[in-house]
Amino acid sequence: MKNLTPMDRQQLIEDIQFKSASGEESLGKSIRRLRLEITGLDQDSFARMCKLTTKTLSTLENDRGNPTINTLNGILKPFGLAITLGALRHQPTTPIRQNEEEPARKRGASPKRQKAALQTSPFQPVAE
């Protein structure tokens, strides 16, 4: 482990968090910085500490992996960090349908069949 003062360690972790959250650094680069700048450990030792294989850690650090939240939290836990679902909710969302008046298609139903079903709905007014 590197000999950092608690204040230096906290500032370094905050810098890594900020750069990762703002998109200045990729997730892999942030993980690599945590490993090297805070712990000073080689990949093998750090991977064992996080209960990962060295290959998995290497893949993540090179931005080639697709880790689960649990895997990421296993890496971040020794630093007092975590990824939560609440953080994921702040992602911008796109609407599924542009026109809210248009009914959602049922899976497997053809558009003709859906249109026919809407026209024979018992809730539509009957023409006299």
Q: What's residue 4's pLDDT? A: 85
Q: What's residue 98's pLDDT? A: 46
**Could you give the domains of the chain?**
6-88 (1.10.260.40)
Quick: pLDDT tens for 113-124: 555 544 443 334
Quick: pLDDT tens for 2-36: 688 999 999 999 999 999 888 999 999 999 999 99
Of the candidates 83, 79, 77, the one whose C-alpha atom is nearest the C-alpha of residue 27 is 83
Of the candidates 53, 51, 6, 11, the one whose C-alpha atom is nearest the C-alpha of residue 33 is 11
Q: What's residue 127's pLDDT? A: 46
Burial class (CB in 10 A: 0-12, 13-18, 19+), 29: middle
46 contact partners, CB below 8 Å, separation of at least 6: 35, 39, 57
Backbone angles phi, psi at 79, to 5 degrees: -100, 5
Which range has the worst mean pLDDT, 95-104, 105-114, 118-127?
118-127
Answer with the residue of higher pLDDT: 102 or 92.
Answer: 102
Quick: pLDDT tens for 41-81: 999 999 999 999 999 999 999 999 889 999 999 999 888 88
Quick: pLDDT tens for 47-57: 999 999 999 99
Helix (H, G, I), strand (E, B) or coil at 98: coil
